[in-house]
Structure 1
Amino acid sequence: MARIAAARLSAEPSSPEQHDRRQRILRAATRIGAEKSLERVQMHEVAKAAGVAIGTLYRYFPSKIHLFTGVMAAQVERLRAQVTVPAPGTAPEDAVADLLVQASRHLMAQPVLSASMLHASNTAHAATVAETVRIDTAFREILLRAVGIEVPTAQDVTLVRLVMQCWYGVLQSSLNGRASMADIEGDIRLACRLLLAPRSNAAR
C-alpha cells in the first residue's frame, strides 16, 4: 500500500530550472507508473530516472500520493489545452459526454498508470496535497467550456461536480475489472443526459 501523503505541502518551483526539474520528475513518474503499480514504484527509482537527488524529489513530492496526484494534474492540464468550444447546436450533455469518453479511452490505454493516479487523487487530502484543488478546478473549467458556459451559475457548478464524481466512479469500476469500455461509454452518456439535460432545457 502507498503510504498516506505526508502532512506538509509540496514546494512550488520558483525558477525555470526548478520548474524543469519538477517536470522531469513528473515525466519519469509517468513512464515508470505506466509499467508498475503504485505499490511497486520506488521514489529513489523515480529520482534516478529524472536525474535529480532524492531530496529534490521529496521537496516537490513528499510522498507517492503527492507524486501521482501531480501526474494526474499534469494529464488534466493537457486535456484542458485540447478542449475547444462545441459546435453551435451541440447539446451540452453530448459535448461533455464526448469529451469524457475521449478522456476515458486515453486513460484506459494506460490502465496501470490510471489506477495509480485515481488512487492517489482519491486518497489525497486537499489540506496537504494542493494538486487536488488544481485538478478539481481545471476539470470544472474543462467541462464548463465543453458545455459552452462562460459564466456558470451555482447549479451549473454543482451539476458539473456531480458529473465529475460519477465519471471517477465509472472509471474506477472499469479499472477494477467490473465494467467494459462499452459500459463506460454507455454509463457516461447516460449520466450526462440525466445531470445536464436540465441545463439543455434551460438554454432552449
Structure 2
Amino acid sequence: MSTVNSLTAEDLGSAAQRERRKRILDATISLATQGGFDAVQMRAVAEQADVALGTLYRYFPSKIHLLVSALGREFERVEAALRDKPLPGDDPADRVIYVLKKTTRGMQGDPHLTEALTRAFMFADASVQNEIHTVGMLLTSMLTRAMHPGRTDLTSDDVAIARVLGDVWLSALVGWVTGRSSAEEVSEQIEVAVRLLLR
C-alpha cells in the first residue's frame, strides 16, 4: 500500500506549481464531466493539462488520489459560494437542509462528474486518507457554518453532528449514483436525518 499523498496547494512553493496543480484538476473535472470515472485516465489528464505523465504522478500518485482531490476542490467551490451570503432558514435544521439540498442538486446536475467523484471516494483506501480527511473537513465546515452562522465556539457535539450528517449525505449520494435511490429519495433521506439530529 502506498503512503504517498497528493501534493496540496499548501505543499507547493511556487505560483507555477500551484497553477500546474490547478490545470491538472481542471483537466480531471473536464474529463469526468464528459465521460465519468472511466474517462479519467492519467495519460489523458496529463495531455489535457499539458504536463508530463511523470509530473502528474508526482502531484497525484493515482487516479483515486486525483479524483478525491477534485471532489475536495468541488466542495471548496460550493463552500466559497455559500460563505458570504446569509442562508435561508429559521433554525439550524432548515439551514443545513438548504445547504445539503443545494449541493445535491448541483451534483445531480452533472451526473458524469458526480459518478466519477463518488466512485473514487468509495474506492479510496488508506493511502488516500489525507485527501479523504480534507473532503470530510470541508463538508463538516460547511455544515457547522450552516448550523451556527458566525459562531466560532463550536462544541464537540456540533462537530460530531455535522460529521454524521456528512456521512449520511455521502451515503445517500452513493445510493443515487448506483441507481438505488431516486433524487427525491435522496432529498427525503437528507431531510429525515437532519430533522432527527437537529431537533
Q: How do 1:32-181 residues align onto structure 2 when only pairs under 5 Å count?
A: 32-83=31-82, 84-86=85-87, 90-125=90-125, 128-148=128-148, 149-181=151-183
- Give distance in 1, aligned partners of 2:123 and 2:40: 17
Q: Which amino acid in structure 2 is aligned with residue 86 of structure 1? A: L
- Give distance in 1, aligned partners of 2:128 and 2:100: 28
Stretches of 4+ aligned residues off by more than 6 angstroms? none
Q: Give the aligned partner of residue 184 of structure 1.
A: 186
User: Normalising by the residue count of structure 1, what TM-score does the alignment of the two structures yield?
Assistant: 0.87
- Give distance in 2, aligned partners of 1:132 and 1:110: 21
Number of aligned pairs?
Answer: 192
| Structure 1 alignment gaps of length 5 or more | 198-204
- Secondary structure at the aligned position of 1:62 is classed as coil
Q: CA deviation at 1:130?
A: 2.0
- Which one has the bigger helix percentage? 2
- Secondary structure at the aligned position of 1:86 is classed as coil
Q: CA deviation at 1:165?
A: 0.6
- Give distance in 1, aligned partners of 2:126 and 2:198: 27
- Give distance in 2, aligned partners of 1:79 and 1:143: 12
Decide whether the 8 Å contact of 1:92 with 1:147 is kept in 2. yes
Q: Give the aligned partner of residue 202 of structure 1.
A: none
- Secondary structure at the aligned position of 1:186 is classed as helix
- Give distance in 2, aligned partners of 1:97 and 1:150: 21
Q: Which amino acid in structure 2 is aligned with residue 41 of structure 1? A: V
| Structure 2 alignment gaps of length 5 or more | none
Decide whether the 8 Å contact of 1:65 with 1:120 is kept in 2. yes
- Give distance in 2, aligned partners of 1:119 and 1:168: 11
Q: CA deviation at 1:40?
A: 4.0
